């Protein structure tokens, strides 16, 4: 009887996991292998710039911006997409970077609700001191908003390379990635 109940519970858990939704990027589900994901992005006009075991870099248009770099990261063993990061073109001034960040933040807030924001400079820097780009380069500037969804997390950031980026992490495939990493470590020790 216990064996039947255990089998039933495992079956129900499997169905529940399968019923969960994957995060999408440009309408493409992140719950597939990297080859399928990349070919679907190519069909949407993206071009491949770099391809390796650790991921693929594409270039194309995203959210009304041209020449965006799209980084697609797969799990190590199953090669399922767990993360997609978009890097917008580099800006030349703090004002333009901050303006682009605020514009995207407003768009993401409208779609996903208010995210958790962390926006500050570390001493001796502050917004308006004229040294914001130096603070950014020295990692003394943090501008980041995190959106938690049922399918995964989205993080909007200002990077130290003077660009805005957005990262999409699928909840299901991130768990697969962690499990694969743990299994790899366990088999080595």
How do residues 12-33 score in pLDDT, each as one tens digit? 444 444 456 999 999 999 999 9
| Mean pLDDT value across the chain | 90
How far is 63 from 33, CA to CA, in rounded Å?
24
- What are the b/e assignments for 133-171, b being 16+ CB within 10 Å? bebbeeebbebbbebeeebbbbbbbbbeebbbbbbbbbb
Question: What is the pTM assigned to this prediction?
Answer: 0.86
Reading phi first (left if > 0) and then psi (alpha if -120 to 50, else beta), residue 176 is in alpha
Over residues 96-135, the pLDDT tens digits come to 999 999 999 999 999 999 999 999 999 999 999 999 999 9
Bond into 124 cis (ω within 30): yes
6, pLDDT greater than 60: no
C-beta of residue 85 within 8 angstroms of C-beta of residue 70: yes
The pLDDT of residue 20 is 67
């Amino acid at each position: 009887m216990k064996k039947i109940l255990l089998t039933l519970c495992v079956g129900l858990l499997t169905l529940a996991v399968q019923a969960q939704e994957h995060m999408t990027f440009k309408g493409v589900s992140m719950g597939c292998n990297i080859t399928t994901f990349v070919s679907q992005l190519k069909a949407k006009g993206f071009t491949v710039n770099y391809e390796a075991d650790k991921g693929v870099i594409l270039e194309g248009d995203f959210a009304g911006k041209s020449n965006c770099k799209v980084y697609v990261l797969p799990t190590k063993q199953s090669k399922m997409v767990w993360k997609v990061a978009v890097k917008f073109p580099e800006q030349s001034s703090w004002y333009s970077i901050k303006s682009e960040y605020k514009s995207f933040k407003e768009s993401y807030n409208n779609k996903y609700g208010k995210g958790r924001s962390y926006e500050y400079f570390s001493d001796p820097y502050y917004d308006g001191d004229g040294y914001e780009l130096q603070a950014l380069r020295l990692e003394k500037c943090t501008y980041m908003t995190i959106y938690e969804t049922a399918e995964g997390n989205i993080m909007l950031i200002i990077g130290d390379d003077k660009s805005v980026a957005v990262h999409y992490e699928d909840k299901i495939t991130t768990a697969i990635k962690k499990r694969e990493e743990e299994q790899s470590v366990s088999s080595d020790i």
